[in-house]
Structure formats: structure tokens, C-alpha cells
Copies of this chain bind each other. A is one copy, B any other.
Amino acid sequence: MPEYRKDIILDEWVIIATERAKRPENFREEKIKVEKKEGIVCPFDRGNEQMTPPEVLKVDKNGNEVQGDGPWQIRIVPNKFPALVEHAEPLSRQYGIYMLMEGFGMHDVVIHSPEHITNISELDLAQTRLLVEVYVKRLLEIKKDTRIESVIIMLNQGKEAGASLEHSHSQIFSLPLNPPALMKEVHGTRRYFEKTKKCPMCDILKFELSEKKRLIYECEDFVIVQPYASRNPFETWVVPKRHFSNFENILEKERDSFAKCLKMVVDFFYYELNEPAFNYYIHTGPLHDSAGAHYHCHFELIPKFSIKAGFEIATGIDICITTPEYTADFMNNSGRFN
């Protein structure tokens, strides 16, 4: 029988309806990997650096900043086709009955490697660790700009997930406002905190670690878990055990653990489900507002296994065709989380 499950942070129901469920291994993608076309010049490859706008950060494999033309491992450049631009005014004005504002913000591209790799899973653990370091470094730099209220670090893996260039890259959006999805979490966690004097994510971790039904992995610093009110098949969260609201405050040893967790998760999808498309993002608290007591930063990965159709768009209620217990069990049995 289908069931409604409540997301206790957002205070919203999702529907878990497994009537049409596939077995976990049947989510495996059947596509054949596309080989890089001959003669296509990739602007993210080593040697083509002049094809992108000048970088805002460039580091070598040890994480040291590189000036000039030295060998690099990760570059952050402004997006050539930005959704937001820095030379705009973040001041709203009236337009008839409406409001508008110039598209102020920053839209960075994080090029994961000078090699033409097409999946984040092709980074080894040290390179993944470096990517985490670069995320934090850039976050701390952006935070100095008081016009920016919120930063989104995210990755679109695969064309079906919205990637327009196949060379593995993430994007960092810096916004002059706190976006609705973040504010829903901030308000929801505050509501829970006011009622219980506890952080809901801390409560979730405690419950999941004791029940173990949706638990994928636990180390000293992080927990990998599938959410009880899962909106998507194989939706996977990586949550720090220590309560902190802003990802830029991650400790040195937590960066090591997070890189290891991130690598295990993307490797699971790459090797066990044959490289499906997915989106991931870091939900981190508002840069300048204090949500510290109740907001708990975390990482979410959403595979593109289902289409958000008319029902989901019209209602805001997601229908998930698998239970997280079932897919968590499959992930545990893969032997990739230890």
C-alpha cells in the first residue's frame, strides 16, 4: 500500500508508492558511454585556458595557489554564460504591479581537473579532497562580500541532470538573497527547535543511527543516510555528526572525512548503477544570518531516475517509487561503504 511520510524539517508530506517500483539493480543505466568526439575542443581541458574567462582561483595538486601558467589541478572561472553577473545592482524596483531587480550575483564554474574526465568519480581520493578544500576556500572568500547572502555549491552530473559541458565541473552560485528552498529549511528547523529545543537533523541522526534501516555509513565525523521521507529513488544525504550550520566552518579532519564520504557515494553510483545522471548540492546556512542553533548543514545527492511530472509540479508533493529502506539495503550490500 502506498504511504505518506512526513518530512519533519519541512513539515510536508511525500508519497512513497512502490506499485511501479523496479528492483534496485534495475535502476542501473543501460546507456553506452559516449566517447569524446574527435575534433571537439573542450574549453576546460589543459591547454585551452584562454577559452574561459580569467580564473578567480587556480590551485595545483597540493592546493597551493598558482599564478601565471604553471600546472594546475583545479580552476574556478566565471561562467561564460552566467545566470547572474557581478556588475549589476542588487536593488529591487517596481515595474507596474510587479518587482524586478538586476541579476546580481556570481556564477562560478569549478573545473575539476585539467584532464578531460566526464564523471566526478574519475577523481581519486586526493583529488576529491582537494575539491572539498577548494569549495571551502571559495566559500570563505565569497563570504567577505557583504552583498552576498547565500552560496550554493552544486554539481550537475550528466546531460539528463542539466550539464551542458561533459568535462566534469561543479558550479558555485552567490546570491544577494536567501533562496526559498533554504529558507524553508531554516524556518522548519527553527520551528522544530522552538518546540523541542533540539536540532531536527541531530534528532534524525540519532534515530537513524539507532534504527539503522536507512543508514549507509558512519564514521567519526559523518553519517551517510537515505532520508525517511525520501523524494527520489536513491536520494542520499551526507550529514556531519557535529552540529554546525555553515559549511565553511568545517574542520580540517572533517574535510578529510567528507571527501572520503563523497568519493564513496559517487563511486557507488558510478560502478554499481552504471553512471546515472545526478545532481548534488551542499545546503549551508545563510552567510550572515544567525541560524546556528537550529540549522545543520548537509550534502544531498539526487539521482535523475524519475521525472517530476504534472502531479509533482502542481502539488509540490513528490512521489517516490522506492522505499529508502530498500535502496539503502542495496547500497549496504554493495560493499562500497566501509
- Chain A residues with CB under 8 Å of chain B are 1-6, 8, 12-13, 15-17, 19-20, 81-85, 88, 92, 95-103, 152, 154-156, 160-163, 171, 173, 175, 177, 179-182, 184, 203-204, 207, 211, 228-229, 279-281, 283, 300, 302, 307-311, 313-317, 319
Of B154, B184, B316, which is within 8 A of A181 by CB? B316
In the complex, are the beta carbons of B2 and A85 less than 8 A apart?
Answer: yes
Interface contacts beyond A154-B309, A179-B316: sample of 8 additional A-B pairs, CB < 8 Å, sorted by A: A1-B103, A3-B101, A3-B102, A97-B204, A155-B310, A171-B311, A181-B315, A182-B315
CB pair B98–A228 under 8 Å, yes or no, is: yes
B281 and A314 form a contact (CB under 8 A) = yes
Question: Is the CB–CB distance between A307 and B102 below 8 Å?
Answer: no
Give Cα A250–Cα B320 distance, bound, in whole angstroms.
Answer: 34
Closest Cβ–Cβ distance, residue A136 to chain B (whole Å):
18
**When A and B form their complex, which 6 residue pairs have the shortest distance between CB atoms, in order from nearest?**
A162-B309, A2-B103, A181-B316, A154-B310, A179-B315, A281-B314
A1-B103, A97-B203, A204-B97 given; A311·B8 CB < 8 A = no
Q: Decide if B310 touches A279 in the complex (CB within 8 Å).
A: yes
Q: Measured between alpha carbons, how far is A238 from B25 in the docked complex, in Å?
A: 43
A181 with B314: CB separation less than 8 A:
yes
Report how far A317 CA is from B174 CA in the complex, Å. Answer: 13
Shortest Cβ distance from residue A207 to the other chain B in the assembled complex, whole angstroms: 5
Stoichiometry, copies per complex:
2
Distance to closest chain B CB from A6 (angstroms): 4
Given known contacts A100-B6, A101-B13, A314-B154, is B85 in contact with A1 (CB within 8 Å)?
yes
In the bound complex, residues from chain B placing their C-beta under 8 Å from that of A162 are: 307-310
The secondary structure that dominates the A interface is mixed
In the complex the two chains form, what is the Cα distance from A316 to B180 in whole Å? Answer: 6
Nearest Cβ on chain B to A180's Cβ, whole angstroms:
4
**A100, A156, A161, A314 interface centre (most CB from chain B within 10 Å):** A314
Q: Which residue of B lies closest to A88 (CB)?
A: B1
Bound complex: CA A8 to CA B2 (Å): 36
Whether the Cβ atoms of A307 and B5 lie closer than 8 Å is: no
Tell me the bound Cα distance from A234 to B103 in angstroms.
Answer: 21
Q: What is the CA–CA distance of A82 and B20 in the complex, to the nearest angstrom?
A: 9
Whether the pair A92, B154 counts as a contact (CB closer than 8 A) is no
> Of the candidates B83, B177, B310, which one forms a contact with A2 in the assembled complex, judged by CB atoms under 8 Å apart?
B83
What CA separation (Å) do A211 and B314 show in the bound complex? 28
Taking CB atoms, residues of chain B closer than 8 Å to A101 are 3-4, 6, 13
Q: Which residues in B have their C-beta under 8 angstroms from that of A229?
A: 98
Q: Please name all residues of chain B whose beta carbon is closer than 8 Å to the beta carbon of A160 when the two chains form the complex.
A: 307
CA distance A182 to B313 in the complex (A): 10
Verify A15–B310 contact, CB threshold 8 A: no
What residue in chain B is nearest A161 (Cβ atoms)? B309
